[in-house]
Chains A and B, each alone.
Chain A
Amino acid sequence: MVNISESLKAQVKDLNFYYNDYQALKNIQLPITENRITALIGPSGCGKTTYLRCFNRMHDLYPGNRYEGEIILYPDGLNIIEPKVDPIEVRMRISMVFQKPNPFPKTVFENVAYGLRVRGETRKSLLEEKVENALKQAALWEEVKDRLHDLAFNLSGGQQQRLCIARALATGPEILLFDEPTSALDPTATSKIEELIIQLKKEVTIIIVTHNMQQAARVSDYTAFMYLGEIIEFDKTDKVFTHPSQKLTEDYITGRFG
Chain B
Amino acid sequence: MKFTYKEIPISFSPSSKRKKSIYRPIISVILIRDKKLIGYEALIDSGSDYNVFDAAVAGVLGINISAGNKRQIAGLGGEKIKGYEHKLILKIAGKQYNSSVIFSKQIPPNSFGILGSQGFFDNFRLTFKYPKYIEIL
Q: Do A and B come from one complex?
A: no
- B-to-A contact residues, CB < 8 Å: none
